[in-house]
Structure 1
Amino acid sequence: MEVFLQLMVSGLLLGGIYALISIGLNLIFGVIKIVNLAHGDFLMMSMYATYWLFTLYRINPYLSIPLVFILAIISGIIVHLIIIKPLLGKAETEVNTILATAGLGFVFQNLALMLWKSDYRAIETSITGKSYNFLGIMISSGRFWAFIVVIAVALILYYILMNTKLGLYIRAVSQDSDAAILMGINVSKIYLFTFGLGVGLVGIAASIITPIFYVFPTVGLYFTTISFVIVVLGGLGSFVGALIGGLIIGFVESVAGVLANAELAQCFSLLIFLIILFVKPEGIMGKGARV
């Protein structure tokens, strides 16, 4: 029983981190209806930003969250204005944006490789390697505080989406952009804000996972795969679905990592993903789910 509780707690903590990474991707898809294949590479670049802020200026990763968040939003806005916006509303928008973001991801990877080589980098903070003992259950301090940040960000984002005028506009555009235009909503600005926010959320995720994961030029590929599994598993466009999907995948990987090995953990996640899609193809939260 104690082992099961240990696995459950570890899985939930890991799943929360996965969920935060996936929420940005799901938000962008739910509102703008594009697939951002550079999602994990935005995360990778933000992880490098966190790493260098700590290495050069000794800024704790948790204290660097606001700065990395702002830098990520700015980069997302620039990418949207230069690459994404010109493709929206054109023929084969979906295909073109997939190709464009995939190409952007390769640019980010090769830029990182050119600037910082292929070395695996890590940082050590005051909580690195430490754990908390709660009723006999060992909780990784890094994952615990990362999970606290995830909960805070999720609550703030949910409040914005459900209780503010901006959130109302975002939900309106996600449901029917043409109707939103007729209601006087500036859809172009909502697209810009949403893409910037989606990338900004990745920046927050990067700051909290840099003390936990290694940083290297292709680390984003792994998180891109996990994010797409979670997004489709939870239901495309669903905020709550991304949270649930992230927790499921985190729990499955924790259990599989103990029963089998770390290399097979992702295979188990994909297996659960396929089973749920076979039973419920539209994902956990249902087809066309929003928020």
Structure 2
Amino acid sequence: MSLFGQTLINGILIGGIYALIAVGQTMIFGVMKIINFAQGEFLMLGLYITWMFAEAIGTNNPYLLIVPIATIMFLFGILVYRVVVHPVIGQGNTSYILLTVGLSYFLQNVAQMIWSANPVGINSPIKTSSIPLGVATIAVPRLIAFSIGIVFVVLVSAFLNKTDTGRAMRATSENMSVAKMLGIDTTKMFMIAFGLGTMFAAVAGVIISPIYYAYPRVGTVFATTIYACVVIGGLGNIKGAFVGAIIIGLIEAFTGSYISLNLAPTFVFLSLMIFMIFKPQGLFGGGGRTI
């Protein structure tokens, strides 16, 4: 019973972390209809910038850096969109795939040139902290990361449903031609969506910094799992991204506890293959509305 309870808690907490990155990917796909293959590298940059700022100001509490890093990476995402992505808008899916894959490798190599390939990280006192909960214990860093992830998901949902800009982004995601006819600046909506997607991945990097090291290829560790979350939940659907992330977190946790930790990625992709064969639109996809 204790193993089951511990595994269940771990899976949910891991899924909550994945959800934050997956929602960022969903924002980009939901509005722009492209999959950003450099999403993991934005998380990697979030980890590195958190470490740099923490070293510069002499703190081992990365959560103090969430707002400034979120702001910086939102603006960085807008810059990337304007300089790199915007020129290929309308040139087909192949262009987007090649572009974002190339951007992924570019950011990895830039990171290696700047910071080297050696892992670096924050020596936070909460790294090994835990809370006893009956038959299980909750790792404090994972609980904090999960809680912050939930807050950001709720905030972006409120933004999309309660603000004029959010409603304009939803209109763009549902029918770009009609949105243009209504006077919505779809280019601006694309830019904001890409900025938010970048920001979400970077914030995920901040909140996992007490438990993960930063190194140039760390983004690839998360990226493939995040694609599974997004596809299982339904491309472009925020609720689906969240549910898909929890499912993937549980699959990883139970596979690691009851079978083998090394086989966790195999079972994640087996689940992805099953969904792509029997429910390719995902759990919440195919309904017409995205984000």
What letter matches 1:84 in structure 2? V
Q: 1:289 to 1:241 in 2, by over 3 A?
A: farther
Verify the 8 A CA contact 1:61 1:208 in the aligned structure 2: yes
**Distance in structure 2 (CA, Å) of the matches to 1:136 and 1:260:** 21
Q: Which residue of 1 aligns with 2:215?
A: 216
Partner of 1:138: 137
Structure 2 equivalent of residue 46 of structure 1? 46
- CA apart distance, 1:289: 4.6
How many residues are paired up? Answer: 289
Structure 2 residue aligned with 1:154: 153
AA partner of residue 252 (structure 1): I
Report SS of the residue matched to 2:191.
helix
Mapped to 2, the partners of 1:236 and 1:58 lie a distance apart of 41
Contact 1:27 1:198 in 2 (8 A): yes
Q: How does 1:1-291 map to 2 (within 5 A)?
A: 1-59=1-59, 60-89=61-90, 91-92=91-92, 94-287=93-286, 288-291=288-291
Equivalent AA in structure 1 for residue 85 of structure 2: I
8 Å contact from structure 2 (residues 176, 186) kept in 1? yes
Task: Tell me if structure 1 keeps the 8 A contact 2:50–2:209.
Answer: yes
Deviation at 1:157, TM superposition (A): 0.8
2 CA distance for matches of 1:114 and 1:263?
A: 30
Most deviating of 269-278 and 2-11: 269-278
TM-score of the superposition, structure 1-length normalised? 0.96
1:284 & 1:158 partners in 2: Cα distance?
A: 18
Question: Match of 1:62, SS?
Answer: helix
Partners of 1:21 and 1:202 within 8 A in 2:
yes
Which amino acid is the alignment partner of residue 75 of structure 1? Answer: F
SS at match of 1:281: coil
Instruction: Tell me how far 1:137 sits from its aligned partner.
Output: 1.5
- State the Cα RMSD in Å: 1.2
Instruction: Give the CA deviation at 1:150.
Output: 0.8
Letter in 2 for 1:218: R
2:285 & 2:32 partners in 1: Cα distance?
A: 19
Equivalent residues of 2:174, 2:289 under 8 A apart? no
**Unaligned regions of 5+ residues in structure 2, if any?**
none
Return the alpha-carbon distance in structure 2 between the equivalents of residues 20 and 99 of structure 1: 25
Conserved? CA contact 1:235–1:289, under 8 Å? no
State the AA in 1 paired with 2:211.
Answer: I
Provide, for residues 129-168 of structure 1, a one-character-per-residue CA deviation record: whole Å limited to 9, x for no partner: 1110112320000000111101111111111111221111
- Give distance in 2, aligned partners of 1:175 and 1:211: 39
| Amino acid of the structure 2 residue aligned with 1:71 | I
The answer to whether the 8 Å contact 1:120/1:215 transfers is yes
Q: Judging changes above 3 Å, is the alpha-carbon distance between structure 1 residues 180 and 289 closer, same or farther for their aligned structure 2 residues?
A: closer
> Normalising by the residue count of structure 2, what TM-score does the alignment of the two structures yield?
0.96
Counterparts of 2:3 and 2:113 in 1: how far apart (Å)?
Answer: 44
> Contact (CA 8 Å) 1:65, 1:203: kept in 2 or not?
no
Instruction: Provide the identity percentage.
Output: 36
Alignment-mate amino acid for residue 231 of structure 2: V
